[in-house]
Structure 1
Amino acid sequence: MKTILTSISFLALLGSLSSCSNQAEQKKVELPAISATIGQTAGSNQGKYVTASGKIEAENSAMISTRLMGFVTDITVKTGQKVSQGQLLARISSNDLAAKKAQAEAGIAQANAGYNNARKDYERFEALFAQKSASQKELDDMSTRMEMAKAGLEAAKQMRNEVMAQFSYSNITAPFSGVITGTFMKKGDMANPGMPIISMEGASKLQAVVMVSESEILNIKNGMKADVTIKSTQKTIKGRVAEMSSSAQNTGGQYIVKINLDEPAQILSGMFVQAVFPIERSASAESATSMTLIPKEAIIEEGQLKGIYVLNDQNIALLRWVRLGKTYGNDVEVLSGLSENEKYVLKADGRLFNGVQIKAK
């Protein structure tokens, strides 16, 4: 009797476990599908891009120095300060110029006195010549003396103008409106001609300045469109090529390309950027450089691994690890792990995991 009861209890336990297993399987099958935006890879029409790195620079920039040798008596601006064209930035000592100015003024007074005396002598001899009391030679000598005195007076005035011009060099002013980006001297330092004192950039217009390799520079044209991505913010700005360097002699085989930006707001000079130029390639070049691009938002990161949820024929999501290449604006190149015309999850409304059913939006 005891054996029969034990058997019945064992069978009841098996039935209970079987029931739990069936319920678990039923719950697994009944998981709701996740709504998601589906993307699909393509290969034949991609790869028409040239990328280049660089940074944001102001269209106008200047390293300001002085033409005088003297002590810095004042620096009136600070780094980051906005200034207007003609605003005083710094002063250089001009004590020696004051002495030169006084000397020039004295020279003018002396030359002016000599000229007035020579002019009066000429006028007297001119009257005597009219009365035939002076010879032609004497009149010519007085005329020459007057002209020499006049030239001496003009030379003295030009010397004063030179001194006054040097006075203007002692007051360093802003060549254009902009922002101070650096000050390299302080009060009491000795300034020499050509030595930078202040640097500034114009705040009105910023450009992306990038370096393009010699193998790709012939694909870039003036006026062509470009997508410029700010690396720190990952913001992409539209722009057009404004200038191109025709020589790489001093840039290590790289050609300078300047891009005018359509929306220069919220960017600062010096920020690093990546520019993407869409270009037209020949059929042979296109097939040789074809690539697979997907939006960066589709990438799943786990540590140093990068993956993407791909879809099978039943729209079941499966995580697949991939190897990535260069970034092109908001897209990234997939070097391996994805095939052409393969579907993947771009953006899902819920948490993704292996085996989840995906419902396309």
Structure 2
Amino acid sequence: MKFIYTTLVIIILAFVSCNSEEENVSKTATEPITVQVEKVSASDENTLKTSGKIKAVNQAQISTRMMGYIESVPAKVGQEVQKGDVLVQLNSQDLIAKKAQAQAQIAKAKSHLLNVEKNYNRFKNLLEKQSISQKEFDDIKMAYQMAKESLNAAQQMQAEVNAQLGYSIIKAPFNGTITNIFAEVGNLAKPGEYLVEIENNQLFEVSTSLAESQINRISIKTPVEVNIQSIDAKVPGQITELASSATTAGQYAVSVQLNSSPETLKSGMYATVEFQVNKATTSQLYIKSDAIVKQGELRGVYTISSQNTAVLNWLKLGPRKGDLIEVISGLSANEIYITSAEAKLYNGAPIEQK
């Protein structure tokens, strides 16, 4: 009897404990997650700002059109050069030998043509006097044509050799400064392989891009100011290129040429480009970039439903602006979104604002 009583007590205590745990679990499961929120900000400023990199308008990476061993590299990094200055010299001994052969062939072909031409003129006179047959004249006429073609072939060979000799001397295509040298004496240069990099530092431009919500707000005539913070300079500019189609990232390329070039300005410096535009007919929307939720290629943000639950909204985003990022679609102005949460959020999670 005592054993039965003890067993009943244990069962009752276990039942009470299970009920208590279920109540705690249920309570925990429905407990709202505390979150911090912000409102979607709207901007209708008459200035578009974007960042870009300074580069020279005239710049070139020079390669060779022939294969050959590098014999000398007269150019040095930072050296000012003039158009036509020699930058790299390839070994051309075999080409010089071919040129001598071509010249010898030309001399031989000229001598042979001179002799055949004399015979041709003599046979022509004899034919007029009917002293030779037509066949004899035709034979000498063919020999004369072949002699001229032989000379022409030899001259073409010489022209080809001269062109190849020209390829062995790499010259500056314009006045500028040597910014990089990849060639080393003794290395084998190959066609298409960069040997020297040169740029003219008289004209500079900024390469940047704009989102689809911004590109229609500017034109070639839009006033531009370029701010180069590293040298504390602001320079007016002019739009020179405006892409009509977007890249795979949805951005439209824009090139802005600087109206002047400060002495301390160098390629590779970063700049902020300010486009002076009319106010947009529709406001640009921004949210904090650290509120973005990423799932593969998708980007979204959590908002709050009328039942105080989290709802994940997928967005189409534009460029960043400091710690903000533009929202092209998916949210509306002044809509509340969640910036941070004390626990992991999910669709339908009960929440309370901090």
Answer yes or no: same fold by TM over 0.5: yes
Q: What code does the residue aligned with 1:148 have?
A: M
Q: Which residue does 1:252 correspond to in 2?
A: 249
Q: Displacement, 1:241?
A: 1.0
TM-score normalised to the size of structure 2?
Answer: 0.65
Q: Displacement, 1:110?
A: 2.5
Please give the secondary structure, in 2, of the residue aligned with 1:216: helix
Which of 223, 226, 229 lines up with 2:224 in the alignment? 226
Please give the secondary structure, in 1, of the residue aligned with 2:177: strand
Which of 60, 63, 66 lines up with 2:61 in the alignment? 63
Moved over 4 A (4+): 43-46
Decide whether aligned partners of structure 1 residues 123 and 263 sit closer, same or farther in structure 2, where only a CA change above 3 A counts: closer
Q: Which residue does 1:138 correspond to in 2?
A: 136
Please give the secondary structure, in 2, of the residue aligned with 1:141: helix
Q: Which residue does 2:73 correspond to in 1?
A: 75
1:90 is the counterpart of 2:73:
no
Decide whether aligned partners of structure 1 residues 282 and 142 sit closer, same or farther in structure 2, where only a CA change above 3 A counts: same
For the residues of structure 2 that align with 1:105 and 1:129, how far apart are their CA atoms? 35
Q: Which residue does 1:113 correspond to in 2?
A: 111
Which of 190, 193, 208 lines up with 2:191 in the alignment? 193
Please give the secondary structure, in 2, of the residue aligned with 1:126: helix
* Contact 1:47 1:289 survives alignment (8 Å): no
Query: 1:70-96 CA distances to partner (integer Å, 9 max, x unpaired)?
Result: 111111111111111111111000011
Q: What code does the residue aligned with 1:184 have?
A: F
RMSD value over aligned CA atoms?
2.4
* Contact 2:206 2:257 survives alignment (8 Å): yes
1:212 is the counterpart of 2:223:
no
Q: Displacement, 1:45?
A: 9.7
Decide whether aligned partners of structure 1 residues 101 and 44 sit closer, same or farther in structure 2, where only a CA change above 3 A counts: closer
Q: Which runs of 5+ in 1 are unaligned?
A: 1-42, 291-324, 328-361
TM-score normalised to the size of structure 1?
Answer: 0.64
For the residues of structure 2 that align with 1:128 and 1:237, how far apart are their CA atoms? 84
For the residues of structure 2 that align with 1:205 and 1:269, how far apart are their CA atoms? 10
Decide whether aligned partners of structure 1 residues 45 and 72 sit closer, same or farther in structure 2, where only a CA change above 3 A counts: closer
Q: Which residue does 2:126 correspond to in 1?
A: 128
For the residues of structure 1 that align with 2:90 and 2:245, how far apart are their CA atoms? 39
Q: Which residue does 1:263 correspond to in 2?
A: 260
Please give the secondary structure, in 1, of the residue aligned with 2:197: strand
Q: Which residue does 2:147 correspond to in 1?
A: 149
Query: 1:99-128 CA distances to partner (integer Å, 9 max, x unpaired)?
Result: 211221122123223212221221221222
For the residues of structure 1 that align with 2:109 and 2:200, how far apart are their CA atoms? 47
* Contact 1:80 1:179 survives alignment (8 Å): yes
For the residues of structure 1 that align with 2:85 and 2:157, how far apart are their CA atoms? 27
The 5 A counterparts of 1:39-54 are 47-54=45-52
Please give the secondary structure, in 1, of the residue aligned with 2:103: helix
For the residues of structure 2 that align with 1:159 and 1:248, how far apart are their CA atoms? 48
Please give the secondary structure, in 1, of the residue aligned with 2:265: coil
For the residues of structure 2 that align with 1:140 and 1:281, how far apart are their CA atoms? 86
Query: 1:310-347 CA distances to partner (integer Å, 9 max, x unpaired)?
Result: xxxxxxxxxxxxxxx649xxxxxxxxxxxxxxxxxxxx
The 5 A counterparts of 1:298-313 are none
Decide whether aligned partners of structure 1 residues 166 and 185 sit closer, same or farther in structure 2, where only a CA change above 3 A counts: same
Which of 179, 182, 199 lines up with 2:180 in the alignment? 182
Q: Displacement, 1:231?
A: 3.2
Q: Displacement, 1:151?
A: 1.5
Please give the secondary structure, in 2, of the residue aligned with 1:205: strand
* Contact 1:125 1:134 survives alignment (8 Å): yes
For the residues of structure 2 that align with 1:127 and 1:49, how far apart are their CA atoms? 88
Q: Displacement, 1:184?
A: 0.4
Q: What code does the residue aligned with 2:65 have?
A: R
Please give the secondary structure, in 1, of the residue aligned with 2:235: strand
* Contact 1:68 1:170 survives alignment (8 Å): yes
Q: What code does the residue aligned with 1:232 have?
A: S
Q: Displacement, 1:152?
A: 1.3
* Contact 1:177 1:203 survives alignment (8 Å): no
State how many pairs are aligned: 249
Please give the secondary structure, in 1, of the residue aligned with 2:62: strand
* Contact 2:203 2:260 survives alignment (8 Å): no
Q: Which residue does 1:354 correspond to in 2?
A: none
Which of 229, 235, 241 lines up with 1:243 in the alignment? 241
Please give the secondary structure, in 2, of the residue aligned with 1:163: helix
Q: Which runs of 5+ in 2 are unaligned?
A: 1-40, 287-320, 324-354
Please give the secondary structure, in 2, of the residue aligned with 1:62: strand
* Contact 1:68 1:166 survives alignment (8 Å): yes
| Identity across the alignment (%) | 38
Query: 1:189-213 CA distances to partner (integer Å, 9 max, x unpaired)?
Result: 1101111000011122111221222
Please give the secondary structure, in 1, of the residue aligned with 2:209: strand
